[in-house]
Each structure stands twice: as structure tokens, then as C-alpha cells.
Amino acid sequence: MSGNAGDDRADDCADDERAALVAAIAAHEAVLRRSAARRPNPLFDSGLTMQQLRVLVVLGADGPLPQGDLAHALGVGLATVTGLVDRLVARGLVERTEDPRDRRVRHAALSADGTALLDRIESAGQEVRARLLARIDLDALRGLERGLAALHEALAELPAP
């Protein structure tokens, strides 16, 4: 019986430590967000709404898409995507084309300016990340890499939405 009580206490301690570590990690994420907001950043300087940025990211990852597929990927209605794409076309970040097989279908694709904006956003993130990681000692980098690898594995195990 005493072995069971010891196991329960060990489990409670492990649960407490896990909760404390998760809280500490969340606090670090908040510091990184505040730090990123203080630097000149093409993401924040773009004037894009979150939904508009999501359109650019999806098109950047998936390439040109019929607007219906884009709506599905974003989890919004076709009317919403039409408005988002209209605003991005007006800013020169997205181009719209007709499907040659079905003129009723409209495709959305990144324009050269849209691709350049995503490249600037990615480059800015890479530069900040490189400066930060260069300041971390090797043991901490090893731990960070192990933690990120574990996070990647956990993400892969999540069921698709």
C-alpha cells in the first residue's frame, strides 16, 4: 500500500512540474511576441488584417486555388473569400484569373508583390531567429532542439481538424 502512495505523490509532483513548465513556456512566448512587436517588421507594417494574411499564406503554400477551395481552406464562406480577394487584388498582392475549362470558376494566386511581401516577412523572422539563437549557449540549443522535435511529434499525432 505504501508503494502506491509513493507512486501517487510522484505522479502529483510530475503533474505539478509539468504545469509549472507549461506556464513558464507560455510566459516566454508572451515575451517573444512583445519583442517582435517592437522591431520594424514587414508583417506589422503591411497593414493586412489577419484574414488577409491567411489568404496570402494559404496561396503561398498551396499555389493558385479556385476561390471555393480557398474558402474551404480558410473555413469561411465564398462571399467572405470574394471580399478578401477583392481587397488583396486592389492592393496588388493577389491576381484573379478565370479557369480556362470553366469560366464560372475564378482562381486566386499570389502576384509578384504578394510573393515579395511573404518573402520579406519570412526573411525578417529568420533574421530575428538567427540573432536570438546565436546568443544561446550550446547546451540550451540542444535542449531547445529536443523540445521542438518533441513538439513537432506531438503535432503530427494530433487528428486533422
The verdict on pTM exceeding 0.75 is: no
Number of domains composing the chain = 2
Which string of DSSP letters, residue by residue, matches 115-142? HHHHHHHHHHHHHHHHHHHHTS-HHHHH
* pLDDT score at 35: 65
User: Is the same domain home to 116 and 47?
Assistant: yes
pLDDT at 2 over 60: no
Torsion angle (degrees, nearest 10) of CA 113, 114, 118, 124? 30
User: Is the same domain home to 33 and 50?
Assistant: no
Task: Print the domain residue range for 97.
Answer: 43-161
Per residue in 84-105, pLDDT (tens digit) is 999 999 999 999 998 888 888 8
C-alpha cell at 34: 512583445
* pLDDT score at 37: 62
User: Is the same domain home to 5 and 63?
Assistant: no
CATH number reported for the structural domain that contains residue 90 in this entry: 1.10.10.10
User: Is the same domain home to 67 and 123?
Assistant: yes
Confidence of residue 36 (pLDDT cuts 50, 70, 90): low
User: Is the same domain home to 14 and 69?
Assistant: no
